[in-house]
Amino acid sequence: MIGAWVWRVSRWLLLLAFAAFFLLPLVALLDFSTTIPRTGERTGAAWQSLLEDPQMTQAIKTSLLLALFTVIGMVVLLVPTMIWVKLRVPRASRLVEFLCLLPLTIPALVVVVGIKNVYAWVTYLIGDSALTLTFIYVVLVLPYAYRSIDAALSSIDAGTLSEAARSLGAGWFTVITRVITPNIWPGVLGGAFISVALVLGEYTVSSLLNYETLPVVIVLLSKSDAPQSMAASLASILFAAALLVVLSFLDRRRRTTVRK
Amino acid sequence: MTITAPLAAAAPDSDPGRGRRLSVGPSLGLLPFLVFIGIFLVIPTVTVIVGAFQSEAGGFSLEKVRALGEETPLRALRESLVLSFTSALVGAVLGALLAYLVVTAPPTSILRRAVTSICGVLAQFGGVTLAFAWIATLGFSGLLTDLMADTFGTDPNGSSWLYELPGLILVYSYFQIPLMVIVFLPALEGLRPQWREAAVNLGATTRQYWLQVAFPLLRPAFLGSALLLFANAFAAYATAAALVSQGAPITPLLIRSALTSEIVLGQANFGFALALEMIVVVAIVMGLYAWLLRRTSRWLG
C-alpha cells in the first residue's frame, strides 16, 4: 500500500521534473522574444517583424517552398518505386531498403563535403537557386519516409489489389496511382509530415552551401536582432509541433487497424 | 548490385505478364530511383572516400589520412567522442526512465500523446532552434540567468560554459532524451504483462522480476538505442554550429573550418579525410546497432 503510494507520488514528481526541463527553454524563448533587451518591457515587435522583415519573409518562403518540393520529390520518387518493388521486383526489396536507410549512416555533413562536383552540374543545368537543395533534402528524408510508407504498404494486400485491377483491364500506371496509392495514403501523408518538419529545421546543408533558408537566417539575425531570431525559433518549433501532433492522430488511426 | 548487371544486357520487356521469372524488364522501373540515389548520395560518398586518399596532384597518397593523427583533429575527435558518449549515456538513462513513466499510462491518455508528440518535435526538428532555446535560458539576459542573478547573485552575463563542452552536452541531451523515448518506447511496449504474471506466479518479487526478467530482456534494446543516440550525437552539426560560432572544438565543426577556409593544418581538402573519419565512426556504431536490433526483435518484436 505504502509502496504504491510512494511510487505514484514519485512518478508525478519525476514527470514534473521532466516537464520543467523540456518546457523551460521554450518559455525562455517566448520571454526573450517578447522583451525589449535593456528596459525589460513587453513588446510584440519581434513577432511582428517575422512577417515584415524582407530577409525573414524571404527565408520563410524559401523554406516552405523547399518543404513543398521535397515532399513532391519524395512522393514521386519513392512511392512508385516502393510499389513497383513490392509488386514486380520483390528480390530488390533488400537493396531498396538498404539504400533508403543509408542516409542514417552517412551524415548530411559528409554528403555536403562530397557534393561540390555534383552541385556544379546542378547549378550549371538548372541555375543557382536555394530550391536546388530539394535534391539533397529528398535524400535526407528518405529513411523516415521509407519507414512510414513501408509500414502502410505491408499492411495491405497489394498483390491481390493489383491482380484485381489488372484483370479488369487496368494498366500499371493506373494500378500504382489509382489503386495502391490511395490505400497507403496515411503512410504517404505521415512521411510527408516528417519530411516537412525535417526540411524546415535543416541547417547543415543549407548553411554550408550558403543558401538562406529559415534556420540559416535565424542564425544570421541572432547577431543583430536576437529577439527576432528567438521569435522565429519558437514559431518554427511550434509549427513543427503542430504538424507532428496531426501526424500522431493519423498514426493512431492507422495503428487501430495495423499492428506491425 | 544484383540489378545493374543484367540491366545492361537485356532489352525492356513490353509484356510484363509473360515470362515473369526470366524477364528483367520490371527491374527497369527502379532505374529513376537508383540513378537519383547514385547521383545525390553515392557519388558524394565516393568523392569523400576517394578524396581522402588523393594527393594535391591527384595521385594516391596517405598524407591526409595521416594528418588525422595530428594534434588538432585528434583532440577534436576525442572531444566529439566524449560529447557523444556523455550525451548518449545521459539521454539513454533519462530517456528510458521517461519512457517507462509514459508507458505505465494508458496508450490513449493525454499524457502519453503529449509526451510522444513533444519528443517527436525535439528529436527530429533541427538543432538550431534548440540551441537558441538554451541561449534564451542560460545565455546573456536569459530567463534562468536573470532569475539566478536576482536570487543567488550569480553572474548576470550568462553562463560561459554554455558555449563549451558542458553546454553542448546539456543542449544535446535536450534532443537525445526525446530520441531515446521514441526509439525505446516500442521495446517497453513489447514487454508483455504475461511475463510478469508468470514470474510472480513462480514466486518472484518485484525486484527479482526486474533484475532477472525485464532488464535482461530490455538490455539489447537499451544498448542498441544508446548506440543510435551516440551516432546521432556524433553526426550532429547544427546545434554545435549555432552555439559555437568560432573555433572548432569538435570534429563536425572542424569540418566546417575545412570547408569554409579551404586550408586546415596546411592541407587543402582536409575535409575529405575528416568526413571519412566520420563515416567510419558512424558506420561502426550503426553496424553494432543493426546487430543488436536483430537480437532484440527475437523477443520484443
The overall average pLDDT reported for chain B is 83
**Does A256 score more than 60 pLDDT?**
no
Using one digit for the tens of pLDDT, what is the confidence trace for A63-122? 999 999 999 999 999 999 999 999 989 999 999 999 999 998 899 999 999 998 898 898
The total number of structural domains that make up chain A: 1
Chain B hits for A208, Cβ within 8 Å: 256, 259-260
Other CB atoms within a 10 A radius of the CB of residue B169 amount to 21
CA distance B28 to B12: 7
Contacts of B46 in chain A (CB under 8 A): 114
Q: What pLDDT is stored for residue B297 in this prediction? A: 67
The verdict on residue A45 lying in a domain is no
Q: Residue A260 above 60 pLDDT? A: no
B44/chain A closest Cα distance in angstroms: 4
Q: What pLDDT does B266 receive?
A: 61
Asked if residue A2 is part of any domain, the answer here is no
CA distance B14 to chain A (A): 12
CA distance A42 to A31: 9
The confidence score (pLDDT) of residue B226 equals 93
Interface of B with A in 194-253 (CB under 8 A): 231, 235, 237-238, 241-242, 252
Assess contact for A149 and A78: CB atoms under 8 A.
yes
Judge whether B224 and B180 are in contact, CB under 8 Å: no
Q: What is the pLDDT of residues B181-235, one digit of tens each?
A: 988 988 888 888 888 889 889 988 888 888 888 888 888 889 989 999 999 999 9
pLDDT for the residue B8: 39
- Of the pLDDT bands very low, low, confident and very high (cuts 50, 70, 90), residue B300 is low
State the best of B94, B111, B122, B128 to mutate against chain A, taking most chain A CBs within 10 Å. B128
What's the confidence (pLDDT) of residue B207? Answer: 87
Top-confidence residue, B160 or B52: B52
CA atoms within 13 A on the CB side of A89: 23
Is B101 in Cβ contact with A11 (below 8 Å)?
Answer: yes
Q: Decide if the complex's ipTM is over 0.95.
A: no
Task: Closest CB to A77: pick one of B32, B116, B120.
Answer: B32
pLDDT at residue number B10 = 41
pTM: 0.86
- Tell me, yes or no, if B96 comes closer than 8 A to chain A by beta carbon: no
Q: Which of B117, B136, B283 sits opposite A105 (nearest CB)?
A: B283
| C-beta atoms surrounding B182 within 10 Å | 18
- Domain of A84, CATH number, reads 1.10.3720.10
Q: Please tell me the predicted confidence (pLDDT) of residue B264.
A: 60
Q: Using CA coordinates, name the residue in chain A closest to B283.
A: A105
Query: Which pLDDT belongs to residue A253?
Result: 60
Does A5 map to a domain? no
Residue of A nearest to B44 (CA): A114
**When comparing pLDDT for A148 and B64, which is higher?**
A148
* Residue B92's pLDDT band (cuts 50, 70, 90): very high
Q: What is the pLDDT of residue B86?
A: 96
Residue of B16, B260, B279 with shortest CB distance to A106: B279
- Highest average pLDDT, of B23-37, B171-185, B265-279, comes from B171-185
- pLDDT digits 0-9 by tens, B233-242: 999 999 999 8
Q: What is the pLDDT of residues B124-136, one digit of tens each?
A: 877 889 999 998 8
pLDDT confidence band for A259 (50 / 70 / 90): very low
Instruction: Name the residue in chain A with its Cα closest to that of B253.
Output: A109
Looking at the domain assignment, is residue A94 inside a domain?
A: yes
Q: B97 — contact with chain A (CB < 8 Å)?
A: yes
- Which of these, B125, B100, B108, lies nearest to A249 by C-alpha position? B108
- pLDDT for res B172: 93
Domains of chain B: 4-52 (no CATH), 71-299 (1.10.3720.10)
- CB-CB contact of B72 with B80 (8 Å): no
Provide the pLDDT for residue A149. Answer: 93
Within chain A, where are the H helices?
2-33, 45-52, 54-87, 93-105, 108-114, 116-126, 134-153, 158-167, 172-174, 181-183, 185-201, 204-208, 214-224, 226-257
pLDDT score of A202 more than 70: yes
Say how far apart CA B82 and CA B75 lie, in whole Å: 10
Give the pLDDT score at B299: 62
Q: Determine, yes or no, domain membership for A60.
A: yes
| Separation of alpha carbons B86 and B257, rounded Å | 24
Instruction: Give residue-wise pLDDT tens across range A167-180.
Output: 999 999 999 999 99
Query: By the 8 A CB rule, do B177 and B93 touch?
Result: no
Measured in angstroms, the CA of A219 and the nearest CA of chain B are apart by 7
Amino acid at A19: A
Residues of A in contact with B34 (CB under 8 A): 99
Helix, strand or coil, per DSSP, at residue B54: strand
pLDDT value at B142 more than 90: no
User: What Å distances lie between residue A218 and A56, A209, B248, CA to CA?
Assistant: 8, 16, 21
Phi, psi of A35 (to 5 degrees): -115, 140
Q: Is the pLDDT of residue B56 over 70?
A: yes
Residue of B nearest to A75 (CA): B33
User: How close B117 gets to chain A, by Cα (Å)?
Assistant: 6
Is residue B256 over pLDDT 80? yes
Q: Which residues of B104-124 are buried (b: 16+ CB within 10 A; e: fewer)?
A: eeeeeeeebbebbbbbbbbbb
Flag whether residue B256 sits within 8 Å of chain A, measured between CB atoms.
yes
Across-strand partners of A86?
none
Query: Rounded to an integer, what distance in angstroms lies between the CA atom of residue A177 and that of residue A78?
Result: 13
Residue A131 CA to residue A52 CA, distance in Å, equals 22
Whether pLDDT at B1 is above 50: no
A195: closest CA among A249, A141, A252?
A141
Domain presence at residue A12: no
- Measured CA angle at B29 (ends B24, B32), to 5 deg: 130
Please list every residue in chain A whose beta carbon sits closer than 8 Å to the beta carbon of residue B260: 208
Name the band, by pLDDT with cuts 50, 70 and 90, for residue B87: very high
Q: Please give the residue range of the domain that contains residue A248.
A: 51-257
Asked if residue A7 belongs to a domain, the reply is no
Instruction: Considering only the beta carbons, identify the residue of B29, B51, B141 that sits closest to A37.
Output: B141
Pairing of strands B267-268, B263-264: antiparallel
Q: Which residues of A touch B259 (CB under 8 A)?
A: 112-113, 208
Half-sphere exposure of A150 (CA within 13 A, CB side): 15
Distance from CA of A243 to the nearest CA of B (A): 9
Inspect the interface and report whether the beta carbons of A88 and B29 lie closer than 8 Å: yes
Q: Across the interface, do A99 and B36 touch by the CB < 8 Å criterion? A: no
B105 in reach of chain A (CB within 8 A): no
Distances (CA, A) of B160 to B136, B243, B250: 13, 11, 17
**Candidates A107, A118, A135; nearest CB to B282:** A107
Q: Quick check: A113 and B252 CB within 8 A?
A: no
Residues of chain B numbered 5-64 and touching chain A (CB < 8 Å): 16, 26-27, 29-30, 32-34, 36-37, 39-41, 43-48, 51
Q: Would residue A44 count as lying in a domain?
A: no
